[in-house]
Structures are given as C-alpha cells and as structure tokens.
Structure 1
Amino acid sequence: MKTHALLLFLACLSFSSCAQKNAQNPYGLNVVNDYKVYKAAVAKNPNLALVDIKKAIPSVVLDIRYATKNNFMGQVMYQQASAFARKPVVEKLKLIQAELKKKGYGLKIFDAYRPYAVTLSFYEKASDKNFVANPAKGSKHNRGCAVDLSIIDLKTGKDVPMPTPYDSFEAAAAPHFADLPPNVIKNRDFLIRTMESNGFKVIYNEWWHFDFIGWQDYDLMDIPFGKL
C-alpha cells in the first residue's frame, strides 16, 4: 500500500497540479498551474501550446476588456491585453479570418484563454451566475478552448451591429433571441454560421462565446499571461 501511494504521489507531481482543495483550487480539480509541467506537456504534444493569437494572426483586432475596467467586474482582471488559445484553436481562427476577409470582415477578439483564478473571481462577484462559468467544473476558457469574439467591417473598421454589447447579461444575448432588427439577426447568424462551420459551437446564452469542438482533450490551466 505504501508503494502504491508513493507512485500515485509521484504521478501527480509529474503530470499536473495535484487535485487538492485550497484557496486557489477550492473544488479539488485537476488544474495545471506549474509552468514547467505545462512546458513539459507541450514538448510531448505541441498542440497543447497556448499560442498568442495576435502574433499568429496579426490582422485580428483585440479588445481585451478584462485588461481594463470596461467589463462587468468593473476592475482590471488581466495584467496585459493579450489573447491566447491552444494551437489547433488558433489554426482554425486563422482559417476563419481568411474566410471573413474575402467577404469584407475581420475578427475582433474580446477574450480567449482565461486563467482559472480569474474564473473563481468572476463567479464570486458576478450578479448573474448564469453568465459566468461555474468554477466547480472549470471553464472552456480555462482550457484555452473558448473564444469570445465578434466581427468588424474592414472598410470602416467599425463593429458590425450585433444584438447586445459584449458581456451583456440581457436576454437578447442568447443566440436564438428573435425580437431584434432583421439586419442584426442576419449579422449574428452569419457570425455563428461561420464559426460553427469551422469547428466551434456557440453557447446557449451568449452570441459571442464559441467553444472549440474537442475541448475535452485539454486540461484546465492557471498559468498567468506573463509566463506564456
């Protein structure tokens, strides 16, 4: 029994953060928060890399609200205005950007990979828990497999009209909400159709939030932006 326990302990150290309850991980989830563990995993499987989206796709526009106070929390949550996602996610976004460009549009990204610690803060302070991920399960954002985005008109550089602002808690944020002007519905549905034809799925209450199909293959992460 002692030998078995030792092997389990060593395995825990080798592959990820131990699933122990503490202030940073109150639900005892498997959350990778050790940069060396993350880098070792990437060395074995490059698809696990969290890639800087702007460096990979220079033409995307970033509007990282959580690096400012212009968000539902009303406070700075990220120390830098960056967006990261797993390598296969970024490769799909690159294809989407090229597809949109042919039609006169481009991506505007609000958020992508989100450290688990930020999800804990969101859930603690959000007035409507339906619009934030439950940290007891973790978020697809924590896995580097969710992207919050919209589109811009390349000619004007302006946002294409959508049902609500980003991070709205309104009922109109739902992707099937119907009481909207026809042009807004057309824009929203075009965005959703484009994303879903390229390996993403919109969630039930946020037109801007898209989960990468295959997110189950990626661990929850709590690596700060500054280390990536």
Structure 2
Amino acid sequence: MIAIVFSLYFILSCLIFAKFNNQAQIRGFFCNFKRMRRMLLLTLLWAISARAAAQKIPVNKYGLPVLTTRQQYDQLVKADSNQQLVNLEHYIPGIQKDVRYATTNNFTKQQLYTRTDIYLRLPAAKALKAVQTALRKKGYGLLIYDAYRPYHVTEAMFKIVPNDLYAADPRKGSGHNRGVAIDLSMVDLKTNKPVAMPTDFDDFTRKAHQNYMPSDPVIAANRKILRDAMFQHGFKGSSTEWWHFYLPDYKKYPLMDIFF
C-alpha cells in the first residue's frame, strides 16, 4: 500500500512540474503536499498497526484463537467495523426475545447467562433486520432464543450433551461464539404469541430436524416461512435444529469469550 502511495506521489510530481513553470508556485505546492503526505503515511501506519494488533489473538488449550478481553475486541473492531457486536433490541425495531440460557428453562437446567442482552456481528444484524422487515409484511415477527454466546458457555453445554449434532464441540467452536449464529422462532403479530413449530427450542428429537414432516400443515407452513425468510437473506440452516441459522462466512469472525 505504501509503495502505491509513493508511486502516485512520483506521478503527481511529474504532472506538477509539467504544469507549473514558476518555481515559487512549485515550492508552495510541495510544501502543502508534504504535509498531506505525512498525514497520509501516519494514517496508513496506524491502520497497519491496528490490523496487526487485531490479528494477535491468543490461542486456547485446543489451539483455537479466542478473544478473551474487551481490549482485544476493541482492536479488532478498529481494524474492521464489521466485527462489532450490535445489540439487536436497539438495532431491529419490534424484535422479541426469550433468552432461555438466562433461566433454568433450557436443556442444561442451569442458568448460563446473567444478562438477557442479545448481540450479533454487524453483517448478521443487518441480514436479520431484513428478515424482520420481510416477516412483518406477512404478519409475523422474530423471537430470539440465543445469539452471541461466550465460548465458555459452549464448553459447559458440551459437557452436558457431548454430541456435536446438538451442542457445538469446543474443539471447533460455535457460530454463536463468533457472533454470526442465531436461534429463533416467530410470533404472530395479531396475538403477540409464538407460532406453533414442530418442537420447543432445544428439543433433541428427530422432530426438530429440518427434514421432519409434521402432520399439522400449519406447523409445517410456519417452519417454512421462517426458513425461507432466513435463507433469502443470506443465512444457512442446521439440519437438526429448525431454530438455528448462521452466516456461511462465519470463519471471518473470531471466537470470543467475553460478556457484553
């Protein structure tokens, strides 16, 4: 990048000499240009150092890079604004939540979160906002069960259910730990109640699979409406969990073990 800047500088110098025949004009121009060049170089050096700092992510016992401090996260966001986590309740009008892991009403029977805030990386939040807009036109809204999940919570879950069909293997990490996976359902805007789905959230039976065919056509239709809306806006789905969706480029986003 710096080489490109100096090449442009050389070309511009040639053009200036060709244009100006007055030495005072040339000296005045280059005095200002040197100041601009100095500022540009300082900006480039700052950007390079910020990106380098963001890439120095410590690895855990499995050899996975995992962000563990707000300072590391802030450096990452400075280098790439798409890495920022967005509070979905602030970003998406009308979104609803039922954060099960902040209660004991989940498959672990333990309270795993102390807060009910829901976050996603900016690109995932933008895509989900588009989903919400599309669903509202059909009389539905989004109901969020889980979004960004700190890495140590994934470790705790896998100890209870050591099956990566249903709980992410901490040796690989989860899309939730990267802030680009979401567990969700829908509410009927007329009643403000959750719509009927094949199972409850975190059901580990075959009925939760995407290829399961419910006998009730209304339930099948509800699942299809949600799935189609998510797919149309860039998400992929889990084959074993009708509620789970994620961005396909999840590897661009580091694993994190930070509460917000």
Range of TM-score over shorter length: 0.7 to 0.9
Distance 1:195 1:14, change over 3 A: closer
Shift of 1:213: 2.4
2:99 corresponds to which residue? 64
Structure richer in helix, relative to its length: 2
Cα shift at 1:179: 4.2
Match of 2:216 among 168, 171, 181: 181
Contact 2:162–2:169 (8 Å) recurs in 1? no
- Whose RCO is larger (CA < 8 A, sep 6+)? 1
**Conserved 8 A contact 2:57-2:66:** yes
Q: Which range moved further: 180-189 or 44-53?
A: 180-189
Check if 1:140 corresponds to 2:175. Answer: yes
Deviations 1:124-174 (A, max 9, x none): 112655310011100011100100000110000011110000010111000
Q: 1:16·1:34 contact (CA, 8 Å) conserved in 2?
A: no
Letter in 1 for 2:199: T
Q: Which amino acid aligns with 2:257?
A: D
Q: Does 1:83 align with 2:118?
A: yes
Match of 1:111 among 146, 164, 170: 146
> Partners in 2 of 1:79 and 1:15 — Cα distance?
29
Which of residues 57, 65, 79 in structure 2 aligns to 1:17?
A: 57
* Structure 1 residues 18 and 170, CA gap change in structure 2 (3 angstroms): same
CA distance, structure 1, for counterparts of residue 151 and residue 107 of structure 2: 18
1:58, distance to aligned residue in structure 2 (A): 3.4
Aligned length in residues = 210
- CA displacement 1:186-227 (0-9 Å, x = unmatched): 1111111110010001111000000112212111111113xx
Residue identity matched to 1:206:
E
Q: Which residue of 1 aligns with 2:190?
A: 155
Deviations 1:29-87 (A, max 9, x none): 11111210110110121100011111111310010000111100111101101110000
Q: TM-score, normalised by structure 2?
A: 0.77
The offset of 1:183, in angstroms, is 1.4
- Cα distance, 1:122–1:44 mapped onto 2, change above 3 Å: same
Letter of the 1:30 counterpart: P
In structure 2, distance between residues paired with 1:167 and 1:208: 8
Report the equivalent of 2:16.
none
Change in Cα spacing, 1:133 to 1:127, as seen in structure 2 (3 Å) is: closer
Q: Name the CA shift for 1:185/1:18 in 2 (closer, same or farther; >3 Å).
A: same
Structure 1 residues 154, 14: closer, same or farther in 2, change over 3 A?
closer
What amino acid sits opposite 1:171 in the alignment?
A: R
- 1-structure distance, mates of 2:56, 2:205: 38
Are the aligned partners of 2:60 and 2:66 in contact in 1 as well (CA < 8 Å)?
Answer: no
Aligned residue number for residue 202 of structure 2: 167
Contact 1:17 1:34 in 2 (8 A): no
Structure 1 residue 116, shift from structure 2 partner: 0.4
Consecutive unaligned residues of structure 2, counting only runs of 5 or more, are 1-50
Higher alpha-carbon deviation: 155-164 or 28-37: 28-37
- For 1:116 and 1:74, locate their aligned partners in 2 and report how far apart those are by CA, in whole Å: 19
Residues 185/125 of structure 1: CA separation in 2 closer, same or farther (3 Å cut): same
Q: TM-score, normalised by structure 1?
A: 0.88
Is 1:35 the equivalent of 2:70? yes
| Distance in 2 (alpha carbons) for counterparts of 1:155 and 1:179 | 24
